Structure 1
Amino acid sequence: MTDFTPGSTYHGFILRRKEHVADINSEVYLFEHEVLGTPALAIKNADPNKTFCFTFQTVPEDSTGVAHILEHSVLMGSKKYPIHDVFGEINKGGLTTFLNAMTGSDTTWYPFASRNTTEYFNIMDVYCDVVLNPLLPRSTFEQEGWHYHKESEDAPLQLQGVVLNEMKGAFSDPIRSIFHHIFGGLMPGSTYAHESGGDPSVIPDLSYEQFVEFHRKHYHPSNGILFFYGDADLEQELAAVQDNFLADYDGPGTKAEVVQGDDISEPVFIEDSYAVQPDSDLSGKT
């Protein structure tokens, strides 16, 4: 096994720090890509449940849910893997112990885990390609984000989309809706005043061009962080992401920044409301 030395470079990554953490019986390494500045955190131990994650700093500038829509959309095929449903294909006989993608308030995560070494490196290749080189056709944006829909010629015009419908369900919970407005009241002008998942009333304001531009701006490796865990060979992991993906970039990109917003210096009073079904009994409602 390689004796990693702080200050040395391994497959394009400079080892900045190395530490044994007894509580988890692991060697922990913090690398930085020498060209792109991409951090790579590795927790290496005897756990066969090998785990990889590529995370990006996806800072929303509004509540259109563009980061959430992109999370869905990149998994609809890439240049190397032009398949319609990446998760579905992986699940057709794979041995993964975890497979998901998640949108947070200011980050988007693409983690998976597998006990099989060959599968681990194969899916790592898929994950890196779909996030860095997605196809992102307009049809995917309309399916995963929003589009106009009519059941028949005489039916009323509707707005539909996977994320739009998902967030309609989320915002049907009064607590979710009210907390969104509380964050906006307590942190006005900040990143966290926006709903990164998408406010159903605002999602249709997002254009296809804005959607593509958000990916270009936020899905550069310089704006991401790599994570490795388990008993896979660390040199092989670093080589896989460097040789197959990061070597294609000739310079660093711009890192997204969280907007702090305005300070609150006095109590804030918020009056808010939430929707109920038509003709609902309002007695006892708060």
Structure 2
Amino acid sequence: MKKHLFLSTIVVLLTSAGLFANSPEQKKEPLKITDSCYYYTLDNGLSLFVNENHTVPLTYIEIAVRAGAITQSRETAGLFHLYEHMMFKGNSRFDNSAKVQKALSDMGTASWNGTTGLECVNYFFTIPSSELENGLEFWNAAIREPLMEESEFEVEKKVVISEIQGNESNPDRYIGYYINSHLFPDAPWQLDPSGSVSNIENATLETLRDIQKKYYVPENAALFVGGDVDHEKVYELVNKIYGTWKNNGVSPEEIESVIVKQKDAPFEKPYLCVVPYDKISPQIAQVNVMYRGPDSDFNEEETYAADLLGFAMGDPDSEYKQTFINDKKLCIPMDPDYVSSGYSTRRRTGIISFSAVMISDDFDSVAERTVYFKDKVNEYMTSLSQKEFIVPLKNRERISRRLRDDKVYDTETFKGPLSSLRYNWVTNSVDYYLSYDDKVISASDKDIQNYIKKYIAGKNPIVVVYVNSKVYEKTKEAYEKAGFVEVDKSQAFWWQESEGEK
């Protein structure tokens, strides 16, 4: 939801991991995550993270649910986003959207929003610390007791449909959906929070209430509170306000049952795509080579090796960057920022990527150089997997310092640690967060070798090259000859073939 407009921002964020409840009859002793950050679990399973930062008299409150695109079926894709809109349309305390907005204004809300992402739906605002209890009660009513009025529902369906239709013409959106549909063909709708127009048109309040009963339960939710607060006081208030929230007999297994295990190897041969893209300069082309990576739900240990290698290869002086920027055939500027690699940790849709920006007046050769870049990535990574020493001790020490510095930097704001914790609560667990630095640094060279061999060396990626639209028209034949498929919005969305929507 955007402030004052009741529109929603769909973001690629993240989900996973169950946490345990303690006895409500005893004084809770929290897990101390940092000197200022504490973790509690209520008796009903609700996770509570509190980060004290008394710099300014403000408080940030966020409630997150492990849901979103990842928990959609083909038929329900888009309904978690629609539900997010309805969260702001009235509840047991404020019975229409005008009263909801007035309540936000009366609390002195500095900013507020709601997002539906790949693995998480979350709602948040920043308020004066004196409004802590009111803020907690606001989200309690919104998440537990939305009214779901028919008149508001029909209006909001139109708002969501307009957003979906806007996405269809946005190159940044449809290119991403095109890539996801090919990398994750088993269930591409589980990477599409916006869903299809027909799903929204056919949505009923009964379906939304089913979503609420199944996913909006305390064992599948977490509350994040940061700022000028006392953690024990926050726990007391949260226990009083949210302690009666019920799980409706829903088991974690039932919540997880809809999530699809995606293919580890979606391509029988490299899949080559070219994107005519008006936003890109005629003087450059950008190439992305993407492989399926480890999924944190199944391959947690492999994520440490992936991240350690990513940190090492991201160093400006790394052999990886220097190898590619010094290859004259690629025409990459002599700046390490123009070559990158990375791994995105997700529960079921891990992605490994290698990227470069190429410049040249001879754009007839870009198709050929893109294929060359893809082959060179495979050659380099295969060679790396055969090395006995991949990340030396001095590099590990540097990466360790960076990880420590990042956590120190996080603590400078009251939201910083909470953002990191939410990410880990969603994709992994609190234990993963606490042990992450040590496990990344201690990943062995053998672990990295196995990771490369399993996911990259000799595997078939999707290759995407972005070129200026006018340049593409002049060089189209070269791409066709090299076996590239042109990407456009008529091919981008998983629902187009079944619904005949072009």
TM range (shorter): 0.7 to 0.9
Alpha-carbon distance in 1 for matches of 2:133, 2:189? 35
Secondary structure at the aligned position of 1:96 is classed as coil
**1:46 CA displacement:** 1.5
Q: Deviations over 1:226-275 (max 9, x none)?
A: 11111212223222222223224377643433433222253346755326
Contiguous gaps of at least 5 residues in structure 1: 1-6, 21-25, 146-160, 276-286
Match of 2:264 in 1: 263
- Structure with more relative contact order (C-alpha pairs < 8 Å, separation 6 or more): 1
Q: Deviations over 1:14-67 (max 9, x none)?
A: 5452143xxxxx511122223x22221111122322111110111222363111
Alpha-carbon distance in 1 for matches of 2:54, 2:106? 25
**1:190 CA displacement:** 4.3
**1:182 CA displacement:** 1.5
Q: Deviations over 1:87-107 (max 9, x none)?
A: 521344442222111111121
Distance 1:227 1:80, change over 3 A: same
Secondary structure at the aligned position of 1:247 is classed as coil
Match of 1:83 in 2: 96
TM-score by length of structure 2 reads 0.45
Distance 1:225 1:252, change over 3 A: farther
TM-score by length of structure 1 reads 0.75
Alpha-carbon distance in 2 for matches of 1:31, 1:259? 31
Match of 2:32 in 1: 18
Q: Deviations over 1:158-183 (max 9, x none)?
A: xxx11111221122213312311321
Contiguous gaps of at least 5 residues in structure 2: 1-20, 274-484, 491-502
Select which of 214, 217, 223 maps to 1:217: 214
Alpha-carbon distance in 2 for matches of 1:86, 1:189? 43
Select which of 483, 489, 502 maps to 1:274: 489
Alignment of 1:145-156 (within 5 A): 145=157
Select which of 81, 84, 88 maps to 1:71: 84
CA contact (8 A) 2:64 2:221 kept: yes
Q: Does 1:104 align with 2:113?
A: no
Q: Give identity over the alignment, percent.
A: 22
Deviates more, 1:107-116 or 1:220-229: 107-116
Match of 2:137 in 1: 125
Secondary structure at the aligned position of 1:100 is classed as strand
Query: CA-atom RMSD, angstroms?
Result: 2.9
Match of 2:435 in 1: none
Alpha-carbon distance in 2 for matches of 1:136, 1:8? 33
Alpha-carbon distance in 1 for matches of 2:133, 2:139? 10
Structure 1 letter corresponding to 2:116? T
Alpha-carbon distance in 2 for matches of 1:33, 1:14? 9
Match of 1:51 in 2: 60
CA contact (8 A) 2:39 2:49 kept: yes
CA contact (8 A) 1:180 1:193 kept: no
Deviates more, 1:83-92 or 1:229-238: 83-92
Distance 1:127 1:110, change over 3 A: same
CA contact (8 A) 2:66 2:221 kept: yes
The number of residues matched between the two structures is 247
Higher helix share: 2
